[in-house]
Structure 1
């Protein structure tokens, strides 16, 4: 046999990354990070959880090997990243969110889908709500959004509006509604609307009530593709919605432009998909299960920009990437 010119190292690294991800989600399911805020032995954790002490020690040792725990003698403790994001007592706990996203983007059915083809009914109607649980996503992303996306968004908005501006804001397909909520928190004279699907709208309603913003922030129910979204907005936030406007991308862009006041701004959050649909790889792979199920959702960066330009929206700036799936926020100006 001839010597191989290309070493198989990348394949083994992929296998290792898969195993490390399995360890992460096992740790979340077992909730071990909750018990490891300080240095604790596996025996002590087993006493509180009822887990097998021997196997728990082996498992914690593996979590330490991949950098999620620190080990000192027989004691284990969360690393800083595990303490912040994987301990369920943390304000930025992402364990439940990460587990949900993992299930939502699972590749377990790839082989079957490639052999058998997509779900015919899903492909006929191209309805994302039949594949994704948007209500649960909205609930869980209310925390995740504070790991970068809220901060980037506020920086962009504060760069074009004065603090005392009486903004009228629309958060279109707003999910948890946190971007609109934070806008009204930062701009005391602002008011606005969160527009969401009827199956999701109770989630942002709960958060609006918790923040006591009911007099300034309304939640509208509807389909943003077909229903009236209002007008006279100074700022429209559109997070990922263009991926669900494949039937009429220019129409969606025009609808947003008509809803803006002259010199208003669109804050667009998109996946920045290349024209050949090869990057970002996290997006292409993450959306593969839904595409195999029969959905046709992702829009390329070029097609979205072309639709916005046609509608009279000009790119004003680009912000840093958010934490989830390579999402990026960009400001567009309507002249």
Structure 2
């Protein structure tokens, strides 16, 4: 690492800080349509002189594009960060930042924040997680499931720790003959029921309350979705994977989603995102090696490694 590399860290920090402040202020709303700096200054009720330094940075970073004197959002910025877009994820990014952030690493190392802050706010994440699934994850799930099963052959599906229930809902729509079960904590299921009811109420959706580590969630499923839950089995990964294996039919499949399955060069991103949670609660994340050993012990094999836009997916079946 050179001296220049050290200063680049400052630039990255400032760029990130600016990004979140601009998103929180919904600055990109002013550039949804082609506009001018004079009009934006007027709408923001500030002087052009004060606006110009910010504009120069937004343009240099590529977030806003300039054509002569006209200004407009970059195409992707407009799709995801214009607050009235149907794909708007600004709220998701802000909430995730709040949940994963740490103000002072020294306080965390000394355990000073652990009693005053929640480790992981499942209720807030449930609200934004549904949007993430809809925008970035459902298409891959549907494509991979459709390649494995004929529509009429699927009779039973389990969405384990299913959160908003969007995976369960989409699979129920894909497989009209299937009974689909959503298994999670009561508070999560209540929110999921409300969310699904607003979209497409289905009698074939079954809700079961419980703890997927300690409680029985049934057997003979054609497909089990286990998304982002294996870290909660850190005390005994092998036992949890055996439980998953016992839950599928002889020709069934498991879709295992986990950031632990990331390629080695991407694992640093996971470590950064989990750092505050680990320090606040001694939270343990399961390693890829533990999962691989657990699969061997459980008698499961990986038939395909793929990924959606957010998470790696290993598709598993009985050996």
What residue number does 2:104 align with?
Answer: 109
What residue number does 1:94 align with?
Answer: 89
> Structure 1 residues 51 and 252, CA, compared in 2 at 3 Å: closer, same or farther?
farther
What residue number does 1:232 align with?
Answer: 220
CA deviation digits over 1:162-200, x for unaligned, max 9?
133333111111122222222122222222111122232
Please give the secondary structure, in 2, of the residue aligned with 1:209: helix
CA deviation digits over 1:241-271, x for unaligned, max 9?
1111112222211222222111211000011
Q: Residue 261 in 1 paired to residue 256 in 2?
A: no
Name stretches of at least 5 consecutive residues in structure 2 with no aligned partner: none
Q: Whose RCO is larger (CA < 8 A, sep 6+)?
A: 1
Please give the secondary structure, in 1, of the residue aligned with 2:313: strand
Counterpart mapping for 1:314-329 below 5 A: 314-320=301-307, 322-324=308-310, 327-329=311-313
Please give the secondary structure, in 2, of the residue aligned with 1:71: strand
Q: Residue 66 in 1 paired to residue 50 in 2?
A: no
**Alignment RMSD (CA, Å):** 2.5
Rounded to whole Å, the distance in 2 between the matches of 1:51 and 1:97 is 28
More helix by share: 2
Counterpart mapping for 1:298-309 below 5 A: 298-309=285-296
Rounded to whole Å, the distance in 2 between the matches of 1:300 and 1:204 is 29
Could you state the TM-score of these two structures normalised by the residue count of structure 2?
Answer: 0.91
What residue number does 2:318 align with?
Answer: 334
What residue number does 2:139 align with?
Answer: 151
Rounded to whole Å, the distance in 2 between the matches of 1:162 and 1:54 is 63
Q: Post-superposition shift, 1:17?
A: 1.7
Rounded to whole Å, the distance in 2 between the matches of 1:55 and 1:176 is 43
Choose from 242, 263, 270 the match for 1:283.
270
Please give the secondary structure, in 2, of the residue aligned with 1:146: helix
Please give the secondary structure, in 2, of the residue aligned with 1:200: helix
Q: Post-superposition shift, 1:53?
A: 4.8
Aligned residue pair count: 319
Rounded to whole Å, the distance in 1 between the matches of 2:290 and 2:276 is 23
Q: Post-superposition shift, 1:120?
A: 6.9
Q: Residue 311 in 1 paired to residue 301 in 2?
A: no
Rounded to whole Å, the distance in 2 between the matches of 1:230 and 1:43 is 63
Please give the secondary structure, in 1, of the residue aligned with 2:18: helix
CA deviation digits over 1:58-94, x for unaligned, max 9?
3233222111111234432110110111012222211
Greater Cα shift, 231-240 or 202-211 = 202-211
Rounded to whole Å, the distance in 1 between the matches of 2:290 and 2:63 is 40
Could you state the TM-score of these two structures normalised by the residue count of structure 1?
Answer: 0.87
Please give the secondary structure, in 1, of the residue aligned with 2:167: helix
What residue number does 1:35 align with?
Answer: 30
CA deviation digits over 1:175-228, x for unaligned, max 9?
222222221222222221111222322332123212323301123222211222
- 2:261–2:313: 8 Å Cα contact kept in structure 1? no
